[in-house]
Chains A and B, each alone.
Chain A
Amino acid sequence: AQSVSQHNHHVILSEAASLELGCNYSYGGTVNLFWYVQYPGQHLQLLLKYFSGDPLVKGIKGFEAEFIKSKFSFNLRKPSVQWSDTAEYFCAVITNAGNMLTFGGGTRLMVKP
Chain B
Amino acid sequence: KAGVTQTPRYLIKTRGQQVTLSCSPISGHRSVSWYQQTPGQGLQFLFEYFSETQRNKGNFPGRFSGRQFSNSRSEMNVSTLELGDSALYLCASSLVGAENSPLHFGNGTRLTVT
Contacts and interface: CB of A to CB of B under 8 A. Distances in A.
Contact of B55 (A32, A46, A49, A99): A99
B65 to A, nearest CB: 17
Contact of A49 (B44, B102, B107): B102
A25 to B, nearest CB: 14
Contacts of A104: 42
A44 interface: yes
Given A44-B90, A90-B43, A106-B42, A101 B105 contact: no
Interface in B60-78: none
B45 A46 contact: no
A91 B111 CA distance: 25
A102 interface: yes
Interface size class of B (residues with CB under 8 A): 20 to 34
9 contacts: A42-B107, A43-B4, A43-B90, A43-B107, A44-B103, A46-B103, A94-B98, A99-B99, A100-B56
Given A90-B42, A99-B99, A100-B45, 17 more contacts: A36-B103, A36-B105, A43-B90, A43-B106, A43-B107, A44-B92, A45-B105, A46-B102, A49-B102, A51-B100, A94-B98, A94-B99, A99-B98, A100-B48, A100-B56, A101-B103, A106-B43
Interface residues of A, number: 22
A36 B102 CA distance: 10
A56 to B, nearest CB: 18
A105 interface: yes
B58 interface: yes
A94 B103 CA distance: 12
Contact of A103 (B42, B55, B97, B107): B42
Contact of B33 (A46, A51, A98, A101): A101
Interface in A35-82: 36, 42-46, 49, 51
B43 A103 contact: yes
A64 B31 CA distance: 27
